Amino acid sequence: MCGLSVKPSPVRFNHLLLLSLVILLDSKAQQTELEWISYPPNGWEEISGLDENYTPIRTYQVCQVMEPNQNNWLRTNWIEKGNAQRIFVELKFTLRDCNSLPGVVGTCKETFNLYYQETDSEVGRSLRENQYVKIDTIAADESFTQGDLGERKMKLNTEVRIIGPLSRRGFYLAFQDVGACIALVSVKVYYKKCWSIIENLATFPDTVTGSEFSSLVEVEGMCVSDAEEEAENSPKMHCSAEGEWLVPIGKCICKAGFHQKGDACEPCGRGFYKSSSQDLQCSRCPAHSFNDREGSWRCDCEDGYYRALSDPPSVACTRPPSAPQNLVYNINQTTVSLEWSPPADTGGRNDVTYRVICRRCSWEPEECVPCGPNVGYSPAQSGLVDTYVTILDLLAHANYTFEVEAVNGVSDLSRTQRLFAAVSIATGQAAPSQVSEVIKEKVQQRSIQLSWQEPHQPNGVITEYEIKYYEKDQKDRIYSTVRSKSTSATVNNLKPSTAYVFQIRHFCLSECPSVCVFVSVSISSAAIVSSEQNPVIIIAVVAVAGTIILVFMVFGFIIGRRYALAVKFPGTKTYIDPETYEDPNRAVHQFAKELDASCIKIERVIGAGEFGEVCSGRLKLPGKRDVSVAIKTLKVGYTEKQRRDFLCEASIMGQFDHPNVVHLEGVVTRGKPVMIVIEYMENGSLDGFLRKHDGQFTVIQLVGMLRGIAAGMRYLSDMGYVHRDLAARNILVNSNLVCKVSDFGLSRVIDDDPEAVYTTTGGKIPVRWTAPEAIQYRKFTSASDVWSYGIVMWEVMSYGERPYWDMSNQDVIKAIEEGYRLPAPMDCPPGLHQLMLDCWQKDRAERPKFDQIVGILDKMIRNPNTLKTPVGTCTRPISPLLDQSTPDFTAFCTVGEWLEAIKMERYRDNFTAAGYSSLESVARMSIEQACISSLMYNFTVSLLLS
């Protein structure tokens, strides 16, 4: 759910800022002589003095103001720069006001020059001017006059200059005096670095800032001892040019056996354990376990207790269960049923099952052997969950012992004696048994060969098999019989095309129970012959099967197409409010691609968003070329609500796919920081961009931008999305001047927009951009977005002027209510102002739809005539653009003239080559045609961009 949230401050480590300087040279700190090189000898002079706090210092002074053509040089000693690339030079100096010196007109100067020379080592004490690179001419903010001499403290000037990037090992600074009266009170040279820090259990080393003002240096963190990197989330931070650590990514976590205390990992105490680095705290040893050492990842089991392989270290140690109780049995001939109660002690586990061990024993002396595979168990012999089992197919008149054992997950680990309940039972009369798996081996017109399996439990030694058979459809059954010593028999002299029933039974030696069962097999020799051998049938079957498959394929195809059509048919997608999702994570993953953090490289901070820094960087997805992206980060220490609100923007943006709506590349929700990755818009927000380029675009270019915004809004309104905060500050511009609508998220209007203010109806609203009905009774619709669009038009045509200038919000509301509307900006074509006024109709039903606005702007682009006559003030009675249906080329005679009027003469040849030789043919070409034909594509783009 996206809702209100408190605006947090971006993540910064300000406490480190003060400490971020590394001093390379501080002339004030030196008590002995500086001994810099001064040339010529009568120029700069080293003098001892007192600073503003009356501390003794070494200074250099020069005051050759009477003589013309001064060229006095002073060079510092060699300054080794270490790793620094950007060096700061801070100069404190006093400078004499020439006016206060009599007789120096023409010779006295009030500036001096600062130079540097890069070298890899000291170059001796000679001074060659041409080897120095000028940094700047330094002038005093305050010079002093003679009368001020006693107030030197007041007139001390401080100037800081930056040099870099430097590439050699060190450098010299040089001061060139050309005839001023200067005292160089102190020279301080330093660079900035981010000092070593421990963050998220990772140590980040001292890091020298990058070479440019805005560059960030990415630094990998090293886990502190006994910590390890979180999976796929290695710790990184970024050192800013100001020596601040920014944008922490990833983290380390304490290894198993260790827990976090401050910035370190400490071992778990005795009697405690931590099984995984993912756990935050050490836990007390679970029941029946212990440890007597520190830093354990698990606890050992007490004697007689065990841990199953699948048991996590967090569960108690357990032991095998006691024996089942109250074992009872029931015999039915050769079947025995056993039942029992659970054991008194389950061993502390809930995975108790039972197994049965069956032994057949001789009568005298009693010797028992395992029952073997012929005995059946229902439902099973082991792994029994219920407390009963049936044992089948026992031999008749035999003696058996059954042991029932309770087992659990640690029974097999225990070496203690097995505990079980047992009964001894003698079986009664054997059950009749039968042959099985009768197969028709060979079926011919007059004979059949049958085979079968001998009975599973014959209860004796089989001597032979008897096969009886009869014609199935005969009223009075006449049986025939054949016998076989083996498990197969051939029956001859059958009638063709007749159904027979066969019965097979076995005979045993004397101990075989006298009742043996019959097995019936029903066959029809005719049917078998035809189904197995008649090729006509085979062809027919294949044909029928083929037809069925074909029918299925055809239906499948039609159904598939129908389905595809049904899915595609609606054409416009509908926006789904992420608030309607109970689980906001589902919404994010439904609409946004989860990106691997390792594919993203953060390069620099470009802004401060509501939830954390906004950075620029690169996204390299596997198999794709890398692209520039903007990365919005969620600051560390966010609340769950902030995370939801932050990702809400991605859930909304991810639903859109239009060239004039900023494109979401994806999100990182599984690592830290949580990030939203968006296409990079090089020129930033439209309002700032226009202010920066005030008056630099043609009207056609401005209208091109407006057309883009309107197309983006048409798409959004078609999807049912109401923006509510459409304003130039929420439009982003890329390097091709393509404008895209941005700033989505339900809370943004309320929290993020500095223009939003509380209104009497409750809620915060950006009053100047909002339609009256939305201000008065919060009626936000696409029609209120159209009103805001009119304001954006005004902002664009006035190059980022503030709507209603410095009128108060209350006055704006009142003026609008009284019918006042913004006048046309300077040089605004009347047609455009008319469109603005249409957008600001009081009755929202009267305002044009975005679809119409796009159409109107397209017409204007095609008819530059309508944009041609700039007027100082646009007035209302202008022929309504909505009614214009054909382009107006009347002011031009040829295509060339028209192209010239819109400063596109260079496309003349392209138009001729493409067959657009007359204005009529150009007029006939619709804007859509124009956009898809390559000729006009280039043309249209240039038109919008040039």
Residue 607 counted as an annotated binding residue: yes
- Could you say which of 43, 257, 460, 609 contacts ligand AMP (CB under 6 A)? 609
H or E segment to which residue 406 belongs: strand 399-407
3-state secondary structure of 672: coil
* 741 part of the interface to ligand AMP, by CB under 6 A: no
Q: Which of 93, 502, 680, 689 is close enough to bind ligand AMP by CB under 6 A?
A: 680
- Annotated ligand binding at 606? The verdict is yes
- Give the residue ranges of DSSP H helices in 747-873: 748-751, 772-777, 782-797, 809-817, 830-839, 850-862
> Which lies closer to ligand AMP via its Cβ, residue 37 or residue 627?
627
Minimum distance from residue 638 beta carbon to ligand AMP (Å): 15
Q: Residues 648, 584: contact at Cβ < 8 Å?
A: yes
339 phi and psi angles, rounded to 5 deg: -140, 150
739-741 and 731-733 strand pairing: antiparallel
Backbone angles phi, psi at 934, to 5 degrees: -65, -35
Q: How far is the CB of 752 from ligand AMP (least distance, A)?
A: 6
The CB-of-211 to ligand AMP minimum distance in angstroms stands at 23
Cis peptide leading into residue 830 (ω within 30°): no
| Minimum separation from the CB atom of position 90 to ligand AMP (A) | 32
Q: How far is CA 349 from the centre of its chain?
A: 42
Residue 923, annotated as binding a ligand:
no
Size of the site for ligand AMP (CB under 6 A): 16
Which span (148-156, 392-400, 447-455, 603-611) binds ligand AMP, by CB under 6 A?
603-611
Q: Kindly tell me which of 311 and 752 has the beta carbon lying closer to ligand AMP.
A: 752
Residues 721-740 that bind ligand AMP (CB under 6 A): 732
Looking at beta carbons only, is 187 or 664 nearer to ligand AMP?
A: 664
Rank residues 116 and 638 by Cβ distance to ligand AMP and give the closer one.
Answer: 638
Residue 614, annotated as binding a ligand: yes
Measured from the CB of residue 732, what is the shortest distance to ligand AMP in angstroms?
A: 5
Among the listed residues 614, 710, 837, 927, the single contact to ligand AMP using CB under 6 A: 614
Query: Closer to ligand AMP at the Cβ: 230 or 752?
Result: 752
Q: Is the peptide bond before 673 cis (omega within 30 degrees of 0)?
A: yes
Q: How far is the CB of 578 from ligand AMP (least distance, A)?
A: 17
Give the 3-state secondary structure of 128-153.
CHHHCEEEEEEECCCCECHHHHHHHH
List 499, 606, 621, 935, residue binding ligand AMP (CB under 6 A) = 606
Residue 376 engages ligand AMP in binding (rule: CB under 6 A): no
Q: What is the rounded distance in angstroms from the CA atom of residue 219 to the CA atom of residue 602? A: 11
The count of C-alpha atoms lying within 13 angstroms of the C-alpha of 151, restricted to the half-sphere facing its C-beta, is 9
Candidate segments 411-419, 479-487, 652-660, 673-681, binder of ligand AMP by CB under 6 A: 673-681
The verdict on 452 binding ligand AMP (CB under 6 A) reads: no
CB closer to ligand AMP out of 74 and 630: 630
Cβ neighbours around 362 below 10 Å, total: 11
**Closest distance of CB 631 from ligand AMP, Å:** 9
Q: 143 — phi, psi (to 5°)?
A: -105, 165
**b (16+ CB within 10 A) / e for 771-787:** bbbbbeeeebbbbbbbb
Quick one: which H or E segment has residue 928? helix 927-932
Among residues 226, 725, 743, 751, which one is catalytic? 725
Tokens of 418: 């097995």
Q: Which of residues 630-659 bind ligand AMP (CB under 6 A)?
A: 630
Q: Choose, by CB under 6 A, the member of 299, 602, 681, 854 that binds ligand AMP.
A: 681
Instruction: Return the closest-CA partner of residue 746 out of 817, 667, 647.
Output: 647
Does residue 612 have a known ligand-binding role? yes
Q: What span, in angstroms and rounded, lies between the C-alpha atoms of 831 and 888?
A: 13
Identify the residue among 610, 665, 687, 718 touching ligand AMP (CB under 6 A).
610
Print the binding letters for residues 545-564 with ligand AMP: x by CB under 6 A, - otherwise: --------------------
In the complex, least distance from residue 785 CB atom to ligand AMP, rounded to whole angstroms: 18
664 binds ligand AMP (CB under 6 A): no
Q: What are phi and psi of 782, to 5 degrees?
A: -60, -30
Q: Which long-range contacts (CB under 8 A, 24 or more apart) does 379-385 make?
A: 381/355, 381/356, 382/353, 382/354, 382/355, 382/356, 382/407, 383/353, 383/355, 384/353, 384/354, 384/355, 384/356, 385/353, 385/354
Tell me: is residue 597 an annotated ligand-binding position: no
Element (H, E) at 615: strand 613-619
675 binds ligand AMP (CB under 6 A): no
Span interacting with ligand AMP, options 466-474, 605-613, 758-766, 912-920, rule CB under 6 A = 605-613
User: How far, in whole angstroms, is CA 800 from its chain's centroid?
Assistant: 34
Q: Counting Cβ atoms within 10 Å, is residue 842 exposed (0-12), middle (13-18) or buried (19+)? A: middle
681 vs 791 by CB, closer to ligand AMP: 681
Structure tokens at 926: 């619709």
Whether 725 is catalytic is yes
In whole angstroms, the minimum distance from the beta carbon of 245 to ligand AMP comes to 20
Residue among 61, 176, 427, 685 that touches ligand AMP (CB under 6 A): 685
- Does 743 help bind ligand AMP (rule: CB under 6 A)? yes
Q: Please indicate if the annotation marks 608 as binding a ligand.
A: yes
Tokens of 741: 């609508």
Q: Is 837 in the site for ligand AMP (CB under 6 A)?
A: no
Nearer to ligand AMP, 610 or 838 (CB): 610
Which residues sit in the known binding site for ATP? 606-614, 632
- Show which residues are catalytic: 725
Which residues sit in the known binding site? 606-614, 632
Residues that bind ligand AMP (CB under 6 A): 606-607, 609-610, 614, 630, 662, 678-681, 684-685, 732, 743, 752
